[in-house]
Structure 1
Amino acid sequence: MKYVKVEATGTGDFLDPDRYLGLLPTLVNVLPPGARAFSVDPDHYNFFSRRCVKDLKPDTLLRGETVGEDWLQLGFRHNCWKHEEDLSIRYLGISSLSLDTINELDWASFHAVTLDEILPHKHGCSHEIGFLDRSLTVVSRDLIATWTEADCPDKPPRS
């Protein structure tokens, strides 16, 4: 990622979105509407929030075409100890995908999300998602992020 720091250390991972968050106010007016809404959500990079992307687990992957435009939908499953919702991100008008060989079997084997970064791009926006062992970048016209209530039978009680 260009601005979000994700570094492996001897004792774990060092995650720091501060540089990106400092730059974000200058980017919001050039991001497409869906990308803008998702990136500026105050919970997005708050590690204590139920809607922080950290620790979400890749779950489903769908691809298709609507009216001559390719789309991709990535589903992320909640972590019962942290989240109450699952996340789905639908990318509209795909220009590029950094892992062209990604398929549903590969997607489900990815480790949990560390952090992500959404930047303006001449085709709309680029969205890089970091995982413990790799990253995925999607360039698209826009994206739509949707949170839905998760089924979490072993969810810890809220305090």
Structure 2
Amino acid sequence: MLPSHWVKIGLMLLAFVLATPHLPAGLASSEGGHGGDAKKSEKKGDKKDAGKPENGAIVIGPLTVNILSNKGYRFLRLALRVECEDNAAAERITLPDARQDLVFTLSAKLAEDLLTNAGKMALRKELLDLFDKYAGPGKVKNIYFQEFVFQ
């Protein structure tokens, strides 16, 4: 007999697989998702491109990572708006090594700590320090959570 936590993990993985749209490559949406390619259609001029800095601000995400929990693993879906002094600083925080550090930082967190406002504010401060490392000291002005969802 399987322990109940393995059954729960299996059911969560099954639900995740069933909820993920499976389209042929030519029909897949080009508006983000798990592919990491967040190019927007040229016809939609009203929407801003994710990952493109504008007036020193850039949107990172949505990004989904596994995080630790007292009850096993959970998913965190996160989107950030990062305001920097200029577009060059904003572009530097989207480099692959900065993104990797962001994923490592998030995946090392404990879900129960992030459920509180104090935990979210501590994470925000840690991300400010992380992005300052790539943008340059004092270049990151503010970080806003646009999406913060646990599953």
Same fold (TM over 0.5): no
Max radius of gyration: which structure? 2
More helix by share: 2
TM-score by length of 2: 0.33
